[in-house]
Amino acid sequence: MIIKDAIFIASNTAVDKCPETDLPEYAFIGRSNVGKSSLINMITGKSKLAKTSSFPGKTQLINHFKINDEWYLVDLPGYGWAKVSKESREKWGKMIKAYLQKRQNLACVFLLIDSRHEPQKSDLEFITVLGNLGIPFVLVFTKADKQSVNKTQENLAFYKKKLLESWEELPPIFLTSSSEKKGRDEILDFIESVNADLKK
């Protein structure tokens, strides 16, 4: 897939305020500081599309970007950041869950995971939520350039083993590096294939 256009459409605090559309949506979410904004910018080829910040938890809204007039990329708030108030975390949690449950055109969730870490409780809990809601999702391991290939593969193997304790099969898995543009083509090809299936 070639990205011709990537346009910011809207930011909202509630799912009922999101754009009315039949176009498929692909939501990106992960723990705070997982590198979500950098990955979105890398995928779209627009260096400033999603705002990056040295302060985790920057994304606090549901952000819609229209891609090629064919689909939406949705940037959801991160989770797991301890330095925001409990009230804010609960508000974001309700907003995210409402989006996941009510957004009828949600085609797939891209769950971002820092490849440098072993399985985190908050990630595993969110995977369980997606499973219980019956929402298609893939795992996107980020920051592959920040450590050795062996360490990355070791962490991925550990993650797969952990997931197979409660899942019969694993979802699609992508390994990425925003600085090296690693995984970009694979993710865009996946989205293109899902879009094609939805049109059948």
pLDDT at 59: 55
pLDDT tens-digit map of 62-118: 999 999 999 999 999 877 655 556 676 677 678 888 899 999 999 999 999 999 988
Q: Which among 127, 66, 139, 124 has a CA at the least distance from the CA of 100?
A: 127
Q: Which residue has the tokens 């962490």?
A: 155
Of 2 and 79, the structure prediction assigns the larger pLDDT to 2
pLDDT at 83: 59
Q: Which among 37, 33, 24 has a CA at the least distance from the CA of 55?
A: 33
Q: Which of 25-34, 58-67, 108-117, 188-197 has the lowest mean pLDDT?
A: 58-67
CATH number for the domain whose boundaries are 6-199? 3.40.50.300
Is-above-0.85 flag for pTM?
yes
Length of the chain: 200
Does 34 have pLDDT greater than 50? yes
pLDDT at 88: 65
The full set of domain ranges for the chain reads 6-199
In the chain, DSSP assigns E strands to 6-12, 25-30, 62-67, 71-75, 106-114, 137-142, 173-175
